[in-house]
Chain A
Amino acid sequence: MTQYPYTDKKDTRSGFGAGMTELGRTNPQVVTLCADLVGSLKIDTFIKENPERFFQCGISEANMIGISAGLTIGGKIPFATTFANFGSSRVFDQVRQAVAYSNKNVKIAVSHAGLTLGEDGATHQVLEDLAMMKALPNMTVINPCDYNQTKQATIASAAHEGPVYLRFGRPVIPVFIPEDMPFEIGKAITLNEGTDVSIFATGHLVWEALQACQILEDQGISAEIINIHTIKPLDVDAILASVKKTGCCVSAEEHQVNGGLGESIAHVLITQYLAPQEFVGVKDTFGESGTPDELMAKYGLKAENIVEAAKKAIARKAK
Chain B
Amino acid sequence: MKTFSLNSVELLDYQPNRYPFLMIDHVSKVKPGVFAEGYKNLTSNEWFFPIHFPGNPNMPGALQLEALAQMLTVAITTLPGNKGKVTHAISHTVNFRKEVLPGQKFEIKTKVNSWNRGICKGFGQGFTDGEIACEATMIITIPEILKKFLPKK
Q: Do A and B come from one complex?
A: no
Taking Cβ atoms with an 8 Å cutoff, the residues of B that contact A are: none
